[in-house]
């Protein structure tokens, strides 16, 4: 299988889509990929991604953009766009990505495949190039729910090299698939019907609700009023952590080095030429919100609101077992069409809340829209309840009967 170029692979280039790491060859293997190789998987190659996973369209990579094989004038989503695109094009039977604010689920929705973000801590982050350490989480991108369960089974587990890794037992996700969902409670948050959401996506959500009803699930409208604060919180917390993590790329120890007449000039030249515009933008935002006089006003306040968002999910899961929402407000958009950064950031509006709360989420394709582009629906669950999440997704998948052909053209 091919893997996102954010996972360190021993003896093979790992670039994170950046000029800064253009020639970086790790001498160690990420825990997640090591787990896969131990179970007999073979590395086909590395897959393009937004630079340091910063982007929602896979257009920020130093090595060029990725195209969506479903419709070649559209984006595959980001930042794991290379992973979703390669899978949809039948270049690899399964792959892995990382999800910081939706970077597995959004490209999965755009490319008509299944993308699972596990609970934060379920899969080790060791050996993954860091973006935002309290949000980054590895997960599988597959053709179907059964493959996602099998992949997660192998990827998961405690890792003493990762202090945020959970030591909870790993269920047999694959063997325990297929249980009845009769009697489970499914929440439908009213806040996930934002302005600008396409009618095709709303229709897919209604179809999904009907599938669940037909299989005995109880549908309950719920409210998550803090959802509207998720994007502002995310775009404070994530850049702040990125600013800290990317400080290591200074031209001294590894990666690109652009010489200058002084040490400071060497730092400036290296970071100016080594990073792309989006990465620089987020470093500057992150440095600003962490700076003296602004830390309390921005970063500290954002962390407090993040805790409230987490608490809101905890309370809502006392009323329902799972939540069903759209994955994205629209289907895949045209390459080069989103020049307005705010519009681009808004594409993560439905995926970011789960990332902030650390809960698991899965996106799976339901139908095609009027332009023959895949429409994804997202299911969210309690901490470490990936098994139940996969069971619900399996039922929906069976009802939707979404098919795709080997050349990547969905039908």
Catalytic site positions: 4, 79, 103
Residue 34 CA to residue 154 CA, distance in Å, equals 10
Residue 262 CA to residue 255 CA, distance in Å, equals 19
Are the C-beta atoms of residues 113 and 142 closer than 8 Å to each other? yes
Task: Give the dihedral sign, CA 378/382/387/391.
Answer: negative
Instruction: Please give, one letter per residue, the 3-state secondary structure of 267-311.
Output: HHHHHHHHCCHHHHHHHHHHHHHHCCCCHHHHHHHHHHHHHHHHH
Between β-strands 322-326 and 374-380, what pairing exists: parallel, antiparallel or unpaired? antiparallel
Are the C-beta atoms of residues 188 and 209 closer than 8 Å to each other? yes
End-to-end CA distance of the chain: 24
Query: What does DSSP assign to residue 331?
Result: S
Q: For the sheet with 185-189, list strands across it.
A: 45-47, 2-4, 94-99, 137-142, 114-117, 361-368, 374-380, 322-326, 185-189, 218-222
CA angle 282, 10, 1 (to 5 degrees): 85
Dihedral, 267, 270, 271, 273 alpha carbons, nearest 10: 150
């Amino acid at each position: 299988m091919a893997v996102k170029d954010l996972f360190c692979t021993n003896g093979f280039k790992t670039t994170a889509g950046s000029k800064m790491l253009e020639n970086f060859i790790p001498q160690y293997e990420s825990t997640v990929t090591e787990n896969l190789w131990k179970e007999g998987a073979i590395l086909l190659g590395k897959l393009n991604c937004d630079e340091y996973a910063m982007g929602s369209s896979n257009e920020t990579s130093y090595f060029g953009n990725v195209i969506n094989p479903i419709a070649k004038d559209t984006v595959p989503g980001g930042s794991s766009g290379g992973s979703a695109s390669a899978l949809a094009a039948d270049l690899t039977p399964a792959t892995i990505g990382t999800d910081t604010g939706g970077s597995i689920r959004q490209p999965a929705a755009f490319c008509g495949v299944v993308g699972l973000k596990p609970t934060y801590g379920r899969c080790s982050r060791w050996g993954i190039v860091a973006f935002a350490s309290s949000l980054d989480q590895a997960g599988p991108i597959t053709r179907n729910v059964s493959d996602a369960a099998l992949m997660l089974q192998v990827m998961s587990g405690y890792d003493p090299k990762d202090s945020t890794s959970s030591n909870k037992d790993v269920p047999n996700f694959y063997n325990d698939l297929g249980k009845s969902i009769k009697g489970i409670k499914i929440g439908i948050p009213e806040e996930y019907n934002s302005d600008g959401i396409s009618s095709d996506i709303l229709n897919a959500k209604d179809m999904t609700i009907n599938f669940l009803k037909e299989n005995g699930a109880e549908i309950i409208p719920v409210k998550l009023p803090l959802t509207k604060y998720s994007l502002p919180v995310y775009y404070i917390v994530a850049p702040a952590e990125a600013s800290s993590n990317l400080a290591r790329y200074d031209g001294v120890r590894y990666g690109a080095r652009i010489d200058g007449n002084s040490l400071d000039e060497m730092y400036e030249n290296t970071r100016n030429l080594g990073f792309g515009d989006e990465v620089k933008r987020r470093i500057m935002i992150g440095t600003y919100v962490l700076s003296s006089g602004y830390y309390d006003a921005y970063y500290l306040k954002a962390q407090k609101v993040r805790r409230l968002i987490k608490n809101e999910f905890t309370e809502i899961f006392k009323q329902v077992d799972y939540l069903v929402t759209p994955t994205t407000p629209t289907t895949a958009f045209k390459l080069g069409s989103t020049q307005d950064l705010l519009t681009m950031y808004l594409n993560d509006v439905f995926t970011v809340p789960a990332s902030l709360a650390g809960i698991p989420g899965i996106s799976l394709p339901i139908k095609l829209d009027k332009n023959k582009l895949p429409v994804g629906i997202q299911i969210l669950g309690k901490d470490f309840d990936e098994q139940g999440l996969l069971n619900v997704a399996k039922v929906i998948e069976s009802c939707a009967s979404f098919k795709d052909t080997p050349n990547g053209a969905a039908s």
